[in-house]
Structure 1
């Protein structure tokens, strides 16, 4: 069931920025037909919000499409769309390398924006928890309208060992944002894969290929001194093995750094997903997230077709999101 916005207390004042349902649907791509759950979510999104909305639901259900249409319809030019991980990477860089105080760093990142769209709100790094609560409070205190999309309901962000670090941020989301679910239905990402782009992530492929001896290693060193191993590098494409990028102890910041340096990635010798070790599989999911979000073409040479493991400790939504995104690739 879609969670509709609750009636605001008498003392609460609706944010001046809002968009009607017709303005939202009018900004969707031509011939877009919303199913019942998406229509209900669009109606909830168009209701007045005090501080914003948190739009969540399964993969491929049009959350970003609805959020971006709403965001485009907001009657202001003072707004910014930013990817969740890019924002916090930039924030951590300002705090670390330039030693800027947190409030000043947030002011610089937000600028004069009256509205922020956080697309793909899924936490991979416990370091994000350190700044997420402060960032949300900053938005609320300055009356910045926040729109966020996620596969996870707020209470399930960062499941497992580090969940408790996210509890203060979760409470802020639940108390100050309208939590709207786009309920289960067709995964339109898989349907849309029949019409392929000539560039970007969905122009890539998943091909069955036997294991072969890799080329000699090439080292790439990040600004923080972390070494990434790849096998070939040109202005347009980087080639690496699965073990190079997912077997090594790398994380989302390193994958973002790599994505900034190419428009295409070839990933060699990818094992059967059903036999991957948990840590390697989780890193693979994070890598897919980054490449998809940055629209980097991905060409995979794998030992098997991508099938869901029957039993894995990897968070279910991370895995389902990765599999949905992989479905956009051409399978040879």
Structure 2
């Protein structure tokens, strides 16, 4: 199944705006597996399209070392599944996925330095066909295990040449142990690994904070990884304001009725609806959308709601769906306690991504049918 097939719209818009809070998509397991590819935002990225910051030599070095890692990946071996054929019985690969050197690579750096761009470029550069390599976030991987079960997930991925994990989470011990165990089983089957995570903005000066945490959490796999440090500032904010000002509610509503394929939701109603939809289906919730218009944006009331919003923000960012909002600025969604707590890394990422989408959304106010 191709990316376009696996992400086909639920319906197209005619007339009134779509309401996300009225959607309750049902997603077959096969789609969850088939969508383990770089998101549409990164369809066209390659090592050649990554533009290193001249002031940060580690960025250019990372490109060279990742290119070399891609060149070490071995030939095809038995597939645990076919994209179009669903889940298949798995068997041990005939030869290791990496001919020489470490079995995994970890990209260590702050927000917006291009780690996901480089990880997706590695996926594209790997010599295996798309059905023999997978790309997903840490959260998507845990959702896959929840949908398939541990053993079937091992079976679905064990024939792959490469598994890329974006945004490896270090703040949930249970999920980290689960994924670490899964990766151990996959490495035993010859799968090469690549992962990214984020150093907190307040810890960027502390050297190898994220790398040390990552290597500790994956325990027995640590020796199999080479760490690539990528320094730099968030490219989404270079020379740009932190967050655009919110729009008047009538402007947001008018844009939702003007832009074909736009969704219009009251922010509080949307937050309530997200609690009724499993996060693994948030991608399907966004099918067919060209924009998300939100009225009455306010601070998120609690941590469970905030974590669901983080997942939705990731899916919107993956699909490059602009956001137009009234209420408070999007960089004030999460209160000081949340930004100082154990999930602060996720909240900073969501703010960064929603801010980028809000800049895109500002252009919607001038569009007409």
* Structures share fold, TM-score greater than 0.5: yes
| 1:209 matched to 2:255 | no
Residue 112 of structure 1: CA displacement? 3.2
2:106 match: 54
Give the secondary structure class of the aligned counterpart of 1:240. Answer: strand
| Preserved contact between residue 331 and residue 351 of structure 2 (Cα < 8 Å) | yes
Query: Does the 8 A contact of 2:330 with 2:351 survive in 1?
Result: no
Question: Structure 1 pair 93/281, CA: closer, same or farther in 2 (3 Å)?
Answer: closer
> What is the CA-CA distance between 1:50 and the residue it aligns to?
2.0
Match of 1:252 in 2: 279
The answer to whether structure 1 residue 316 and structure 2 residue 344 are counterparts is yes
2:314 aligned with 1:289, yes or no?
A: yes
SS in structure 1 at match of 2:47: coil
Q: What does residue 164 of structure 2 align with? A: 117
Match of 2:90 in 1: none
Partner-residue secondary structure (3-state), 2:49: coil
- Within 1, Cα distance between the matches of 2:141 and 2:330? 34
TM-score, normalising length: structure 1: 0.62
Three-state SS of the structure 2 residue aligned to 1:295 is coil
Contact 2:143 2:280 in 1 (8 A): yes
Q: Deviations over 1:147-188 (max 9, x none)?
A: 11221526657xxxxxxxxx98532453432233322x2211
Does 2:47 align with 1:27? yes
> 3-state SS of the aligned residue for 1:180?
strand
Number of residues paired by the alignment? 260
Listed one character per residue, the Cα deviations across residues 32-73 of structure 1 (whole Å, up to 9, x for unaligned) are: 555323124335544664221121321110111222233333
Q: For 1:244 and 1:49, how far apart are their aligned partners in 2? A: 51
Question: Which residue of structure 2 lines up, in the alignment, with residue 176 of structure 1?
Answer: 224
Shift of 1:124: 7.9
Q: TM-score, normalised on structure 2?
A: 0.57
> Comparing both structures, which one devotes a greater share of its residues to helix?
2
Contact 2:110-2:233 at 8 Å conserved across structures: no
- d(CA) in 2 for partners of 1:286 and 1:82? 13
> Could you say if the C-alpha distance between residues 141 and 187 of structure 1 is closer, same or farther in structure 2, counting changes exceeding 3 Å?
same
TM-aligned CA deviation for residue 245 of structure 1: 3.2
**Which residue matches 1:72?**
124
Q: Which residue of 1 aligns with 2:145?
A: 91
User: Paired residue for 1:141?
Assistant: 188
Q: Which has the higher strand share?
A: 1
